Amino acid sequence: MGDYIAIATTDELSPSQMKRVLIKGKRLLLCNSAGTFYCVDEMCSHEDYSLYLGCIKDGKIKCSLHGSYFDLITGKPTCEPADAAIHTYPLKIEAGQIWIKPEAV
């Protein structure tokens, strides 16, 4: 798989579940939203708070501290108080394995 790193198997996460992943010292979240996988920053852009403590709903992840939702495709907040996007990272899925390119992190 060349320069990709395997971070999970597709059967590891049920819908609405998340997994914390550490890549190059950066904390990322792998999210399963209704069977589609996304990878985003673990930390909220509003304050230094883990989105892992929130929940996934309708293609978005909710920060449980102040209630902002972030679109899992774009990383953009869909409601206040957060006004900055979180980063999103491209994934590759092959043969039941989820891969991420470390250069993208």
Show the site string, 44-73: x = touches ligand FES by CB under 6 A, - = not: x-xx-x-------------x-xx-x-----
Please report, for the chain, how many H helices and E strands are present, in that order. Answer: 0, 10
Residue 47 or 94 having the CB closest to ligand FES: 47
Minimum separation from the CB atom of position 91 to ligand FES (A): 23
The answer to the question of residue 4 lying near ligand FES (CB under 6 A) is: no
C-beta separation of 31 from 61 below 8 A: yes
Residue 67 or 96 having the CB closest to ligand FES: 67
CB-based contacts of 30: which residues, under 8 Å, 6+ apart?
7, 8, 13, 18, 19, 20, 21, 37, 38, 39, 91, 98
Q: What number of chain residues touch ligand FES (CB under 6 A)?
A: 10
